[in-house]
Amino acid sequence: MINPTIVGFVRKELAQALRDKRMRGMLLVMPVVQLLMFGFALSSEIRNIRLAVVAGPGDAFTRELAERFYAGRWFVRMRPGPGEPFDWLRSGRAEAVLVAPTGGADKAYGRGAAVYQLLIDATNAQRARGIERYAQSILAAQLRARGDPGTETFSFVVRTLYNPEDDTSTYMVPGTLCLLLCLVTLTLTSMSMTRERESGTLETLLSAPVSPWEVLAGKTLPYALLGLADVPLVLSVAWAMGVPIRAPLWEIFLVAAVFVCTSVALGFLISSYTRSAQQAQLGTFLILFPAIQLSGVVYPVENMPTAVRWLTYLDPIRYLVIMIRHLMLKGGDLGLLLPNLAALAAIGVAAVVWAGRRFRQTLN
pTM equals 0.79
Of 130, 119, 128, 203, residue with least CA distance to 165: 128
Q: DSSP code of 41?
A: I
* pLDDT digit string (tens) for the chain, length 364 residues: 566 766 665 676 667 666 666 666 666 666 666 666 665 556 667 888 899 998 888 788 888 888 888 887 789 898 877 888 888 988 888 999 998 887 777 676 656 567 888 999 988 888 888 888 888 888 888 877 776 655 556 777 888 888 877 777 788 888 888 888 888 888 878 777 777 666 666 666 666 666 666 667 777 788 788 888 888 888 888 888 888 888 889 999 999 999 998 988 888 888 877 777 777 777 787 788 888 888 888 778 887 777 778 888 999 999 999 999 889 888 877 888 899 999 999 999 998 888 877 776 655 5
276-280 CB contacts, 8 Å cutoff, 24+ apart: 276/194, 276/198, 277/191, 277/194, 277/195, 277/198, 278/23, 279/20, 279/22, 279/23, 279/26, 279/194, 280/190, 280/191, 280/194
Of 271, 305, 263, residue with least CA distance to 288: 263
* DSSP three-state, residue 59: coil
Distances (CA, A) of 115 to 98, 228, 250, 333: 11, 49, 42, 31
List domains and CATH numbers for the chain: 49-161 (3.40.1710), 168-363 (no CATH)
Pairing mode of beta strands 49-54, 75-77: parallel
Nearest-angstrom CA–CA distance, 123 and 169 = 10
Q: Return the amino acid letter for 268.
A: F
Q: DSSP code of 42?
A: -
Q: Could you tell me how far CA 80 lies from the centroid of its own chain?
A: 22
